Amino acid sequence: MELKFQKMHGTRNDFVVFHDLANSVELGPDQVIRICDRRAGIGADGIIVVRADKSADFFMDYINSDGSVAEMCGNGIRCLAKYAYDNGLTRDTAIRVQTRAGIKILELFPGPDGTIDTIRVDMGEPIFDPRLIPVDIDARTVPIVDYRIEAQGRAFDATILSMGNPHCVIFVPDDSEALPAMYGPTIETLPLFPAKTNVEFVRVLDRTHILMRVWERGSGETFACGTGACAAAVAARLKGMVDSGATVHLKGGDLLIEWQTQTSSVLMTGPSVLVYSGTINI
């Protein structure tokens, strides 16, 4: 079967995107792994299938590069929005997208050429309930802040929450560049996290700027993670380290994250880029 696709990225978190509004295409894990292979395939952190949905404008069917299904992808949902608008699937600049983590509301901003280049996403409220994150902690108080974990003999204080998918945010005082590859695989698979977890290593630069490196569940170290950037900003706000709006500096670019209070939605604003269009036989 020949499949038309677009290669896209959001802050260099990259995806293979195509639409299947008739829900006629199903990809098995082996096919996903082959497509995402950076040497023998197209190469991507994951695949996004734009599907029809009865309760929203679209459904985001997101699959990690290892073939596992994910609840939500912050950079990916911005790419979906650009794909849908630029390919004529919608003419609206405010759309609702159903995900496995619920409906997200997106505001689309066209650039000078009429295509979408920036998207603001209402990511919903952070989840602090251990049962819903999920994390195997009998917490007497939530949010879970500065919970001591250990990986490869090193202790970390972690802030644990969900942005529709689980996150373990760790603040470090110095360079975080080498930490994802060094500790990410171990922390991702700790028994503490029954559904595994994304891991963010964060250094707060000042009240409005955060530096973050990430190990993504199911994808490994990536250039960016949208839900991870949201989790990092929320965790920093919980600890009183940043203001209600902060720019998160990722390996692949910057995202603006805004969060007021524990009952407020998290807003994420960032770019989406078309790399190229093509076809592949699957």
Catalytic member of 36, 73, 168, 230? 73
Catalytic member of 36, 79, 168, 225? 225
The C-alpha torsion from 170 through 172 and 176 to 181, rounded to 10°, is: -40
Are the CB atoms for 232 and 202 separated by under 8 Å? yes
Is residue 79 annotated as a catalytic residue, yes or no? no
Alpha helices by DSSP H, 127-225? 179-188
* Residue spans of beta strands (DSSP E) within 31-79: 46-51, 58-64
Are the CB atoms for 227 and 54 separated by under 8 Å? no
CA distances from 69 to 42, 126, 142, 209 (A): 19, 21, 28, 31
Is residue 168 annotated as a catalytic residue, yes or no? no
Tell which residue, 107, 129, 116, has the closest CA to residue 272: 116
Annotated active-site positions, please? 73, 225
